[in-house]
Structures are given as C-alpha cells and as structure tokens.
C-alpha cells in the first residue's frame, strides 16, 4: 500500500514539527538575521565624502549569518533520520524515496520561506528606521528603504528566496552524504569558500569567475540595488546560479537516495 503525496507530506510534517530543535532554530535564524542587520546598520556611517554603500544590501547583511542556521535546519531534517536509524522506518512506510525527499524539500523550503519573510521584513524595517540617522538621507541620494520601490522589493523578495534555496542546497548535500557533521561542514565550506578565495586572488578574470559561480556570492547579487552595471551577473541571474546549485545538490541527493541502501 503506498501513500498519497498528501500523506507523505503529513508524515514528514509531523516528524519535522515534533523535533525539539526546529522551532528554536527557525526563531534563531530570524532573530540572528535581524540582529546582525541592526548591528551593521548602526555601525555604518555615510559621511559627506563619497559614500558607495548600498543601503538595501547593508540592512540585509544579516542574511549572510542567518543562512548558517537555515542550513542547519535543512541538514538536520534528513541527517537526524540517519543518525537514529529512523530512515529505515520512513522508507519502509514510504518506499518511493523521491517522494520522501520531495516532501522534506517542500516542508523545509516552506518553513524557511515563512521565517525568511519575517526576518527580511524585520531587517528592512530596521534599515528604514536606522539608516537615515546614519547619514543615508535623501540629501545624499538615499531615499528610505521601501518595499514599494522596485530594486528594494527585488532585494527583499530575493533574500527570502535566497534563504529557501540555501535550505534546499543543504538538504541535497545532507541527503547525499548522510552524516550531519560532514554535511554541515560541506555546506558551510561551499558557501564561504568562494568569497574568501576570490578576495585574495589577484587575477581579476579569476576573481570574476569565482564570484559568478559561488553559490553565496552569486545568490547575494539579488540584494544589490546600486551599481548593477559593474556586477558580473544581473541580480536574478545570480539567484539563478544559486538555484542551479540547489537543484544540482537535490538531484544528487535524490539519485544517491534511490541507489543506496539506507
């Protein structure tokens, strides 16, 4: 007897919801994102001399830290099943392994979308309130952040999608490697490797390439609202690169899940 998609989703939802850590981690991701955003807003100043900052990017800096917690949530969604042996029960109950992964992806992605939306809204609000006091005023060419403004809206919506894609990437990697420590190490290494290496490579050609293919660099282009012409990719193309990474990781995870013994 096989389950319907709805039943699979319901089963996965029950598991995810009853894990003690999930709620706390989601809360922590949102709180950390907003807190880092507020701290960076408060630490930035835009003096009378050339101020090249991007206010939308500044107030959404917290996403760069919050994404680590999002990755943990996604990794735990699958690797905790392996560490307890629960995966065998799961796959006995739902032999169609891809539906299991699909249900997990939908639920983790959905939860992160909701949390991310709250975190991004909070960060934008904080930026709107704090940045004008730090010299980012209309007189210096910085109107207050507003979701009615096209580029600001793109940065906000894009950041929410960014967090969801990071979750899917982490879920895919964790499905492929199964062990939680290795999975989180790989995901964090993958995210931070490209920006760190590209910052020290002197060759501009290589630097540009690294920034184009790195999931974090490219994905965060969606936050840019000024200086779009000098970006190696357009904002949505950048998010597309991250989406390709996430899709690739999920595909790899799905193939390995089907081929391997649990």
Partner 1 sequence: MTTTITPNRSATLQTRDGFAQLVHAEWTKFRTVRGWVIGMIVAVLVTAGIGIFVAAGDAGQSCQAIGPTGSSSGCGSAPALPLGPDGEPVVDNFYFVRQPLTGNGTLTVRLTSLTSLLPPAGQGLGATPSQPGTVPWAKAGIIMSATSLSTPRAYAAVMATGANGVRMQWNYTGDTAGLPGAVSAGSPRWLRLARDGDTITGYDSADGAHWTVVDVVRLAGLPATVQAGLFTASPQLPARAVNIAGIGQGGGGPTASTAVFDHLSRSGAWPASSWTGGYTQGDLAAEAQGVGGYHQLAGRITVTGQGDVAPAIPDQGEFGSSENTIAIYLTGTFVGLIAVAVVATMFMTGEYRRGLIRTTLAASPRRGRVLAAKALVVAGVAFVAGLLGTAGAEVVGTSIARSRGTQDFPEPWPAELRMIVGTALVVAVVAVLTLAVATIVRRSVAAVTIIFAAIVVPYFLSAIATLPVGVADWLLRVTPAAGFALQQATPQYRQVDAYYAPVSGFYPLAPWAGFAVLCAWTLAALGGAVYLLRRRDA
Q: Provide the terminal-to-terminal Cα distance of the chain, rounded to the nearest Å.
A: 20
Site for partner 1 in 18-77 (CB under 8 A): 40, 43-47, 49-54, 58, 64-65, 68, 72, 75-76
Q: Please select the residue that binds partner 1; options are 100, 108, 184, 241, rule is CB under 8 A.
A: 184
Pick between residue 14 and residue 45 the one whose CB is nearest to partner 1.
Answer: 45
Cβ atoms of 93 and 3 within 8 Å: the answer is yes
Q: Please select the residue that binds partner 1; options are 92, 138, 204, 259, rule is CB under 8 A.
A: 204
Pick between residue 118 and residue 210 the one whose CB is nearest to partner 1.
Answer: 210
Q: Please select the residue that binds partner 1; options are 5, 86, 181, 228, rule is CB under 8 A.
A: 181
Question: In whole angstroms, what is the distance from residue 230 CA to residue 213 CA?
Answer: 16
**Measured CA distances, 179 to 16, 24, 32, 90, 119 (Å):** 18, 22, 26, 17, 29
Residue 70's contacts (CB-CB under 8 Å, 6 or more residues apart) are 29, 112, 115, 116, 163, 166, 167, 170
Place of tokens 């391997």: 260
| Shortest Å, Cβ 147 to partner 1 | 23
Instruction: Confirm or reject binding of residue 262 to partner 1 (CB under 8 A).
Output: no
The radius of gyration of the chain from alpha carbons, rounded to an integer in Å, stands at 20
Site for partner 1 in 78-137 (CB under 8 A): 79, 83
Instruction: Confirm or reject binding of residue 200 to partner 1 (CB under 8 A).
Output: yes
Question: In whole angstroms, what is the distance from residue 165 CA to residue 170 CA?
Answer: 9
Q: Please select the residue that binds partner 1; options are 182, 231, 252, 262, rule is CB under 8 A.
A: 182
Instruction: Confirm or reject binding of residue 188 to partner 1 (CB under 8 A).
Output: yes
User: Where on the chain is the footprint of partner 1 (CB under 8 A)?
Assistant: 40, 43-47, 49-54, 58, 64-65, 68, 72, 75-76, 79, 83, 179-182, 184-185, 188-189, 192-193, 195-197, 199-207
């Amino acid at each position: 007897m096989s389950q319907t998609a709805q039943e699979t989703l319901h089963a996965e939802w029950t598991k995810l919801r009853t894990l003690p850590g999930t709620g706390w981690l989601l809360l922590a991701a949102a709180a950390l994102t907003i807190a880092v955003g507020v701290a960076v807003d408060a630490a930035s100043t835009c003096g009378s001399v050339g101020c090249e900052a991007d206010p939308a990017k500044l107030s959404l800096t917290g996403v760069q830290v919050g994404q680590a917690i999002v990755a943990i949530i996604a990794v735990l969604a699958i690797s905790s099943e392996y560490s307890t042996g629960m995966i065998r029960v799961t796959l006995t109950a739902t032999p169609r392994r891809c539906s299991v992964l699909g249900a997990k992806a939908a639920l983790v992605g959905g939860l992160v979308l909701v949390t991310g939306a709250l975190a991004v809204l909070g960060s934008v609000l904080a930026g709107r309130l704090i940045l004008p006091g730090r010299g980012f005023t209309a007189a210096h060419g910085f109107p207050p952040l507003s979701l009615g403004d096209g580029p600001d809206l793109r940065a906000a919506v894009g950041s929410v999608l960014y967090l969801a894609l990071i979750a899917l990437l982490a879920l895919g990697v964790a499905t492929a490697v199964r062990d939680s420590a290795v999975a989180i190490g790989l995901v964090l290494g993958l995210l931070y490797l490209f920006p760190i290496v590209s910052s020290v490579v002197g060759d501009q050609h290589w630097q540009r390439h690294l920034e184009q293919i790195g999931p974090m660099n490219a994905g965060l282009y969606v936050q840019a609202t000024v200086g779009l012409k000098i970006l190696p990719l357009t904002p949505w193309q950048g998010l597309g690169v991250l989406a390709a990474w996430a899709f690739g990781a999920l595909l790899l995870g799905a193939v390995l899940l089907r081929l391997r013994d649990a």
